[in-house]
Amino acid sequence: MSHSLLIRFVLVLAAALGASAALAEARWIDVRSTWEHKLDSIPGDPNVPHDEIADAIGTLVPDKSSEIVLYCRSGGRADVAQQTLERLGYTNVRNAGGIDEARKERAPAS
């Protein structure tokens, strides 16, 4: 098996097993309003306003044991969204607070 074919196989396998806690990374979700997200956002993070999270989460994160990290402006709406997800059976949800805290937490260590 060629090296590039092996790499492709591993990537496909990792994608297929993406729901596995051992391989999965946390799914960060911005629960601020759409207009706030347009003004300032963290690249790659989906925006699902906190009052729409119940309708969108099943498609976005179908595995209820996946790690989900929520943030908003200051943590209040992320707390509401966290409670909603926990009522829906999600077991690994946490509130990172505001977007500035989310950025700091994810910044590479220097």
What are 17-26's pLDDT values in tens digits? 444 444 459 9
Q: What is the pLDDT of residues 41-73, one digit of tens each?
A: 999 999 999 999 999 999 999 999 999 999 999
Q: Which helix (H) or strand (E) holds 98?
A: strand 93-98
In a domain, 55, yes or no: yes
Q: Check residue 101 and give its pLDDT.
A: 98
Q: Supply the CATH number for residue 42's domain.
A: 3.40.250.10
Domain holding 53, by residue range, is 21-106
Q: How many domains, in total, are found in the chain?
A: 1
87 pLDDT higher than 70 = yes
**C-alpha dist (Å) from residue 6 to 9, 16, 38, 39:** 5, 15, 39, 42
In a domain, 2, yes or no: no
Q: Which helix (H) or strand (E) holds 16?
A: helix 3-16
In a domain, 46, yes or no: yes
Averaged pLDDT, 100-104: 98
Residues 6+ apart with CB under 8 A from 23: 14, 17
- What does DSSP assign to residue 70? E
- The answer to whether 71 and 101 are in contact (CB under 8 A) is yes
In a domain, 72, yes or no: yes
Produce one character per residue of 38-75: b if its CB has 16 or more CB atoms within 10 Å, e if not. Answer: eeeeeeebebbbbeebeeebeeebeebebbbbbbbbeb
In a domain, 5, yes or no: no
In a domain, 3, yes or no: no
Instruction: Give percent helix, percent strand, percent coil of the chain, each to the nearest 5.
Output: 45, 15, 40
